[in-house]
Every structure is written in structure tokens, then in C-alpha cells.
Amino acid sequence: MTEPSLPPRLIDRPGFNKLCILLVAMIWGYSFTVMKGLVTEMPVFYLLALRNAIATAAMLAWVRGRFLREMDRGTVALGIALGVTCYGAYAPQTIGLSMTTPGKNAFLTGCYCVMVPFLAWAFGQGRPGLRHVVAAVTCVCGIGLVAVDGGLPLKLGDALSLLCGVSYALQFVILDKWGRDRDALVATTWQFLVMALMSAATSVVVDAGYAPPPLAVGDVATLLFLGLACSCLCFGLLNRAMTIVDPAEGSILSALEAPFGVLSSVLVFHERVTVRLLVGFALIFVAIVTSEAGGELLARWRASRTRNAV
């Protein structure tokens, strides 16, 4: 006589993990507005050094002894590569944020999803499919409407927001190519450590004349939110949830980061969203969903048509 199977734990249920991905999208969307407030108060690289130092300390507390046990050459090299590419994304993104609105920064940064298949192709990981080409064309049209909203030439802040997307895309390619069979949390700890060191070194050179004042309570709370919630918590939740949730649904929920970024900017900074911007945002969002989940969605549509025909 077989014993009845126990229901899955809450943390293993798809519905709960979908809510986790949605929470991550909301937190990351709101972080654009939070960062916009901080970059008006302190230099960019000083801010990034503090944020990543907090994230490094939290990750070291999380992984503890594993950090030393898993210090093999491949894991360390992966973490360093991720740190360098992530620094190459965060730096232009944060500088760009100081020159443009959080909403535009969020959507232009999100274009990295469309770039990933083409960078992967450059690394010999398979040719992009038709949906990737369609997504790229759609994304370019959306970028055109968003980035030239204030007229030509392209604003520096918007150009930097687009540039950081290339580094984000490269990070995903590196993870896919060399991240298998590695301890992801240990590699992420190295990633944050490298970013903190690179940001601090850049700050010493670029912000040589800056004398940091005592941090206000609000600034400390904001930095803790960025380092603990936006970096450690969100990466942990998303990485686990995406192993449980359907990939198509998870990708769509994750892509809501950009709309949440616009919403928070409108509510906090009263960002003015024109019809041109709305259409551009919509095209970029469609492109992201098409690139991330287009194949799954198309397969489901075909399967449903086959069932209905029968």
C-alpha cells in the first residue's frame, strides 16, 4: 500500500515562485528611481563601490565556508568575468541614469534581452531564429521612438543606457557558456567583490577631490536596499524561481521590470510620458517578450489549435 504523496511545499509551488519573480521585477523597476535619487547626491563610482561592498559582505555571510571550499580556478575566473562585464554595465547605466529619466533608462537597458541571441551567435552558440530577428527589428523601432523623443542627436544618457545593455547581454552569454557545473552563489560573490574593487579604484581616480560627508539615515537605508534587496535577495529569488516556473511565463514576468520602472518614475519624479514614448515602450516590451518567450508561446498556440481541430 503506497503512502499518499505529500503536497509540495509553498516555496516549491509554481504560483508562489511566479509571485517571487513579480516581486523581483517590482524591486528592480523601483531601483531605477532609487538610484536616480542617489546619483544627485553622490558620485556614481563612489555609490557603486558602496552598493557592491554591501552586496559582497552579504554574499560572504550567505555562502560562508563554501567561498573557500569552492575556490577553484574555473569558479574564480567565472566570477571575475561576471564582475568585469557587470561593472561594464552598471557604470554606463548609472551615469546614463544621471542624464535621463528612470523610465527611459529602464526600457533602454532592458534591450539586452534582445541582444543575447546575437552575441551568443558571435561566440559560436547557434544562429538566432526568426523570432530573434523579428524581436530585434521591433526593438530598434521602439528604441527609435524612445531615444529620439527629445529630438536628434541622441542624448548621451540614452546612448549610455543602450551601451550598458551590451555588457548585460555578454554576462548572460558567459553564464551560459562557462557557468555550468559551477557554484553560482560563490561565483556571484566574486562578481560583487570585483565590482566593488573596480568601482572603488575608479572612484579614487575620478572622484579624487570628493570628500564624502557623513551619510544620512535615509541614504544608509537606500544603500542597504540596493545592496541587500536589489542585489542579493533579487538574484537569489530569481535564480531559484526560474528553475521551477515555466520559462515562457517566467520571462514575461521578469520583463515587467521595465514597466515597473516607468510607473515608479511617473509616481515619484512625475516623469512625463508622451504618446511617442508609450508606443516605443510597448514595442520594446513586445520585442523582449518575443525574444525571451516567443518560441514557447508559439508552440503552445500551435498545440491549442491542433487540440481544437481534433
Inside any domain, residue 254:
yes
The predicted-structure confidence for 41-85, as pLDDT tens digits, reads as follows 889 999 999 999 999 999 999 888 888 887 788 889 988 998 999
Which amino acid, one-letter code, is at 71? M
Residue 4 lies in a domain: no
Residue 168 in domain: yes
Is residue 1 in a domain?
no
Upper half-sphere CA count for residue 254 (Cβ side, 13 Å)? 24
Contacts of 271 (CB under 8 A, 6+ apart): 101, 102, 103, 262, 265
Rounded to whole angstroms, the Cα distance separating 250 from 20 reads 10
Residues contacting 56, CB < 8 A, separation 6+:
189, 192, 193, 196
Range of the structural domain that residue 94 is part of: 13-206+215-309
Q: Which residues of 218-227 are buried (b: 16+ CB within 10 A; e: fewer)?
A: ebeebbebbb
Identify the band that residue 1 occupies on the pLDDT scale cut at 50, 70 and 90.
very low
Does residue 3 sit within a domain?
no
- How does DSSP classify residue 171? H
Average pLDDT over residues 175-194: 83
Give the residue from 145, 163, 53, 56 showing the smallest Cα distance to 99.
163
Give the percent of the chain with pLDDT over 90. 19
For the cut 80, the answer to whether the pLDDT of residue 243 exceeds it is: no
* Total structural domains within the chain: 1
Using one digit for the tens of pLDDT, what is the confidence trace for 24-40?
A: 989 989 998 998 888 88
Residue 88 within any structural domain of the chain? yes
The answer to whether position 6 is within a domain reads no
Place 276 in a pLDDT band, splitting at 50, 70 and 90: confident
Q: Is residue 274 a part of any domain in this protein?
A: yes
